[in-house]
Amino acid sequence: MADGIRADSSDLARLVADLDRAPGKVAAKLIGVVQESAQSVEDDWKEPLKGSATIPAGAASISHDISGSASALLGKSAVSAKIGPSLGGQGAVVGMLETGTPNTGPRGFGLAALKKNEAKFLDGIGDATEAAF
């Protein structure tokens, strides 16, 4: 069950509010930061699954998708990243490992990867927006 996994997003909510006021010239930089961070989280999530005898395709099931756009005209950037296993094949097992089941505890590989990259992500956002404020 997901009860064992918690993440505090209050700092992120304040960051989003600040970025709403950022000018359009930093929008492309923000997309780059999200892309780089998503790739790092994906890579770090895959690492503990590589070479697994029980789920040999588990690492390969993890990927990321970036959606959104940057608009200098509107002065806004709306970008998001989804990172995780595909729902088919061994990706479903990776999902169960992440959150746990009624009989097993959560492994939290994805959450650990997210936390490992959090500071670098926030630094990247800060660097990208520094000139805007």
Q: 55: how many CB neighbours lie within 10 A of its CB?
A: 19
Which long-range contacts link 92-100 to residues 24+ away (Cβ below 8 Å)? Answer: 93/55, 93/58, 94/49, 94/55, 94/58, 94/61, 94/62, 97/55, 97/58, 98/5, 99/1, 99/2, 99/5, 100/1, 100/2, 100/4
- pTM strictly above 0.85: no
Statement: residue 89 has pLDDT above 80: yes
pLDDT, position 6: 63
Q: What is the pLDDT of residue 48?
A: 96
6 compared with 90, residue with greater pLDDT: 90
Phi and psi, residue 9, nearest 5°: -110, 15
Q: What confidence tens digit (pLDDT) does each residue in 13-68 have?
A: 777 766 666 566 677 788 889 999 999 999 999 999 999 999 999 999 999 999 88
Output 31 or 124, whichever has higher pLDDT. 124
For residue 72, pLDDT beyond 70: no
The two structure tokens encoding residue 97: 């490992």
Residue extents of the structural domains in the chain: 8-128
Does 75 have pLDDT greater than 60? no
Report the DSSP beta bridge partners of residue 77: 70
